[in-house]
Amino acid sequence: MSQQDELRKREQEWDKLQALGLYPEIRSLELYVTAVALGMQTAIETLLDYPARLPDLEIIRKVHFQMFGRVHPWAGEFRSLGQHVNVGTRFRGADPEQIVYEIELARLQTDKLIKTGNHLEAVAFFHLRFERIHPFLDGNGRVGRALLQSQLAAEFGFRKSLVFKKSEYAAALHAGERNLLGPLMQCIGRAAELSFDPGLYQSLYRISPDPDYVQGKRIDVGLQESRRQYIRDRKSAADGPQANEN
């Protein structure tokens, strides 16, 4: 990338950040980056001091606030009605009214995987689901990776910095578009010094947000069905994983 292209990219990034809303004292991209870096350090230290196997809504909002509370007046708040975001260049995040439902359902499904002993599969699944939900206007990737680091500390005692090879991590996220967990499990496994049997690992549960969700009416139904599905999963575990649209 040429110097001119790099400068244009930075200008576009700064314009986007300004449109999202910044405190008056954040007058440049450099100030934004510095403030967020300080916030990230605080958030990760807190998460490692109190690691969470299943980050709940309060933890997720708190992590975002710690990271971005110095730059965004709305830090720690999920997207509201009419605020849509793209996940990469090909997908849209969950509709704002769908966010809480999707996170709660992802937590329930992740808990099922943990209870059946699929710990690495569980953290990979939750990370992919969180990134596809994209609950915030800014910082979803950084929050998601911080939550992942906390889950690895809780599940495996891994407390070092989590460093991914960028191209490998991006490819693993793209594999999630096909409901595949294996590439991300391998990516996490290498970064966190874990060993496991390699494979594609088709996800038992969908990774993309629910396209049939309408104005919160499916929240109770979805959670109740997921609990019933948990019982069915345990009974049919010997038959292998089957697709579940909840």
Cα-Cα-Cα-Cα dihedral sign, residues 159, 164, 170, 174: negative
Contact 172, 183 (CB under 8 A): yes
Q: What is the model's pLDDT at position 71?
A: 98
Considering only CA atoms, which of 49, 193, 68, 189 is closest in space to residue 137? 68
Query: Tell me, what's the pLDDT at 246?
Result: 40
Q: What is the mean pLDDT of residues 155-160?
A: 94
- Residues β-bridged to residue 118: none
For 83-108, what is the mean pLDDT?
91
CB atoms within 10 A of CB 1: 8
- pLDDT greater than 90 at residue 108: yes
DSSP 202: B
Residue 5: per-residue pLDDT: 85
Tell me the C-alpha distance between 24 and 35, whole Å. Answer: 13
Helix H, strand E, coil C: the string for 67-99 is HHCCCCCCCCCCCCCCCCCEECCCEECCCHHHH
Residue 230 has pLDDT above 50, yes or no: no
Q: What integer pLDDT is reported at residue 227 of this predicted model?
A: 45
- The more confidently predicted of residues 11 and 224 is 11
Q: Is pLDDT of 60 > 80? A: yes
Q: What's the one-letter identity of residue 212? A: D
Q: Is the pLDDT confidence value at 195 over 60?
A: yes
Mean pLDDT value of segment 87-105: 90
CB crowding 110-120: b at 16 or more within 10 Å, else e: bbbbbeeebbb
Give residues with Cβ within 8 angstroms of 30, minimum separation 6.
Answer: none
Answer whether residue 40 shows pLDDT above 80.
Answer: yes
Average pLDDT over residues 177-195: 92
Average pLDDT, the chain: 86
Inter-CA distances, 138 with 10, 67, 72, 90, Å: 16, 11, 9, 17
Query: Tell me: the pLDDT tens digits for 158-173?
Result: 999 999 999 999 999 9
- The 10s digit of each residue's pLDDT in 71-84 is 999 999 999 999 99
Residue 242: band (very low, low, confident or very high) from pLDDT cuts 50, 70, 90: very low
Residue 201 CA: distances (Å) to CA of 23, 47, 49, 111, 184: 44, 28, 31, 17, 10
- Asked whether residue 88 carries a pLDDT value surpassing 80, the answer given is no
The model carries a pTM of: 0.84
Is the CA virtual torsion 80, 81, 82, 87 positive or negative?
positive
Residue-level pLDDT at 137: 97
